[in-house]
Structure formats: structure tokens, C-alpha cells
């Protein structure tokens, strides 16, 4: 495990697991140096926050990957990063999103949960802005998507 500012990097299988807060100390733009066989796979489930300098370096990372012909895959993208990808088009680059977290709420018991959506398996439904159905882990009722699909899923429409 390696620490850069308030972010940690851990290699797990074929992915680099990034966790914590991303700021300029994370030096994200250097991440392309860790690509293996033309691929850079980032697991982003543990990212809690990204500030404006972190976003700047994220965009530089995407640009460097594009220039070097590196395929970037984003897995388990945490909600704070989804919001950035939706707000700033340049953050999307040419990256493939494999899966991401999305907010759901249960009307039956009140539970709110960030749930993982497989973007490949659900690609057709997501392109129609239909959130995949999810079951409440607490009471088993069907949960409702807790954001606006046209806003939350816009980063998928590259």
C-alpha cells in the first residue's frame, strides 16, 4: 500500500485500487506510468472526495492515456466521482466504465444505500435512463433510484 497525500494506492489483481481523498498530492496524471500492456484499470469504490486540483490531474491523466493509446477502465466508481464525471465532460476522456455506485432508497423501511450497478450488463437499460431494479438489503422490498436518471447517468453517454 502506498500513500499519496490523502489517497492510497493498492495493486489488487489487474487493478489499482484508489481510496480516500484525491487532491494535487495524489498526482493522478502520473498514473498512466503504471499501465500494463496498454491498459490502466482503476478501482474507485473507496474514493470519498476529489477537489478541483484533483479533477485537474484526473483530466491530465485521461489526456495522457489517450495520447499514449492506453485503455482506461473505471471500476466501481464511487458517487463523488460520478458527480464529477457528470459535471465536467473532460473528466470522462475515453475511459470505459465497467461499474459504478448509485443512490437508492427504500420506501418501505427508509433505508438509503449506495448500490453497485454493472454498466456493461445493464448498458441497454441505462441508455434508456432506466435504473436497474434493486432489492432492499434490509426488508427485501424493491428500492427506488434516489436521483434523476437523466442527470446521474449522463456520464455514460459518451
Residues 82-121 interacting with Zn ion (rule: CB under 5 A): 106, 108-109, 111
For residue 81, the minimal CB distance to Zn ion (Å) is 26
Any contact of residue 139 with Zn ion (CB under 5 A)? yes
Q: Which is nearer to Zn ion, 145 or 153 (CB)?
A: 145
Interface stretch with Zn ion, choices 16-24, 54-62, 121-129, 134-142 (CB under 5 A): 134-142
Environment class of 56 (CB within 10 Å of its CB; exposed 0-12, middle 13-18, buried 19+): middle
Neighbours of 13 (CB within 10 A): 8
> Shortest distance, CB of residue 144 to Zn ion, whole angstroms?
10
Task: Between 120 and 139, name the residue whose CB sits nearer to Zn ion.
Answer: 139
Q: CA–CA separation, 119 vs 88, rounded Å?
A: 20
Is there binding between residue 138 and Zn ion (CB under 5 A)?
A: yes
Cα 53 to Cα 27, 69, 157: the distances in Å are: 9, 24, 25
The answer to whether 145 touches 126, Cβ cutoff 8 Å, is no
Residue numbers of the site for Zn ion (CB under 5 A)?
106, 108-109, 111, 136, 138-139, 141
Amino acid at each position: 500500500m502506498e500513500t499519496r497525500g490523502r489517497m492510497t494506492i493498492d495493486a489488487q489483481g489487474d487493478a489499482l485500487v484508489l481510496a480516500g481523498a484525491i487532491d494535487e498530492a495524489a498526482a493522478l496524471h502520473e498514473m498512466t506510468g503504471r499501465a500494463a500492456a496498454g491498459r490502466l484499470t482503476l478501482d474507485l469504490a473507496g474514493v470519498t472526495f476529489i477537489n478541483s486540483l484533483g479533477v485537474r490531474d484526473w483530466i491530465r491523466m485521461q489526456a495522457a492515456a489517450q495520447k499514449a493509446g492506453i485503455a482506461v477502465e473505471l471500476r466501481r466508481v464511487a458517487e463523488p466521482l460520478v458527480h464529477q464525471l457528470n459535471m465536467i465532460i473532460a473528466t470522462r476522456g475515453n475511459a470505459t466504465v465497467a461499474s459504478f455506485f448509485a443512490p437508492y432508497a427504500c420506501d418501505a423501511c427508509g433505508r438509503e444505500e449506495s448500490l453497485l450497478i454493472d454498466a456493461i450488463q445493464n448498458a441497454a437499460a441505462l441508455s434508456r435512463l432506466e435504473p436497474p431494479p434493486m432489492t432492499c438489503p434490509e426488508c427485501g422490498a424493491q428500492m427506488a433510484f434516489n436521483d434523476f436518471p437523466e442527470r446521474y447517468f449522463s456520464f455514460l453517454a459518451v
